[in-house]
Amino acid sequence: MKVTTKGQVTIPLEIREQLNIQPGAEVDFVIDGNAVKMIPSKKAPQRGLRIVERMRGKATVKMTTDEILALTRGKR
């Protein structure tokens, strides 16, 4: 693995899949003796929270929550 002039490296696909590292994931680097460890960032919100925050306030439907739930549950 080569380090680019910008200090970047590519995480191999097998490792990304095994650790479920998605595009946009936030990570931190920790020095451990002569090694560097990459760990999930504790400062960054989880993926689900980021999605909810991005969607917040985007709805255009003028329905109440009860009306939406009635539509999704169907008739009994």
pLDDT digits (tens, 9 = 90+) for 45-76: 677 887 888 888 888 888 888 888 888 887 65
4 occurs within a structural domain: no
Supply the pTM of this predicted model.
0.50
Q: How many domains does the chain have?
A: 1
Q: What is the pLDDT of residues 33-45, one digit of tens each?
A: 999 999 888 776 6
5 occurs within a structural domain: no
The per-residue pLDDT for 46 is 72
3 occurs within a structural domain: no
| Token pair belonging to 25 | 């994931």
Measured distance CA(55)–CA(2) in Å, rounded:
38
Domain residues for the domain of 67 are: 13-73
The per-residue pLDDT for 10 is 94
The per-residue pLDDT for 76 is 58
55 occurs within a structural domain: yes
- Which segments within 2-74 are labelled E, that is strand? 27-32, 35-40
38 occurs within a structural domain: yes
1 occurs within a structural domain: no
19 occurs within a structural domain: yes
